Amino acid sequence: MFDAATIRAVRPDVAAGRHTRKHSVRRGIHSPLLRGLASVGAMFIHMSIHVPNPGYEQQVLDSMNRVRLAALGTPGLLLIGPWREDGGGRIVGIAMWESRALWEAALPTLFAVAQADDPDGVWHASPPERILLEDALVLPPDDLVD
Q: Which residue(s) pair with 79 in the sheet? A: 96
The answer to which of 11-15, 84-88, 141-145 has the lowest mean pLDDT is 11-15
Decide if pLDDT at 22 tops 90. no
Domain region containing 19:
4-41
Residue 118, pLDDT score: 73
Same-domain check for residues 36 and 51: no
Same-domain check for residues 60 and 89: yes
Decide if pLDDT at 28 tops 90. no
Same-domain check for residues 94 and 29: no
Angle at 41 between CA 36 and CA 43, to 5 degrees: 110
Q: Above pLDDT 70, what percent of the chain?
A: 65
pLDDT interval class at 68 (50, 70, 90): very high
Same-domain check for residues 33 and 87: no
Residue 76, pLDDT score: 94
Same-domain check for residues 50 and 37: no
Same-domain check for residues 83 and 100: yes
For residues 28-48, one letter each, b for 16 or more C-beta atoms within 10 angstroms of the residue's C-beta and e for the rest, the string is ebeeeebeebbeebebbbbbb
Query: Model pTM?
Result: 0.66
Decide if pLDDT at 23 tops 80. no
Q: Could you tell me where the DSSP H helices lie in the chain?
A: 4-10, 12-15, 21-27, 31-40, 57-71, 100-117
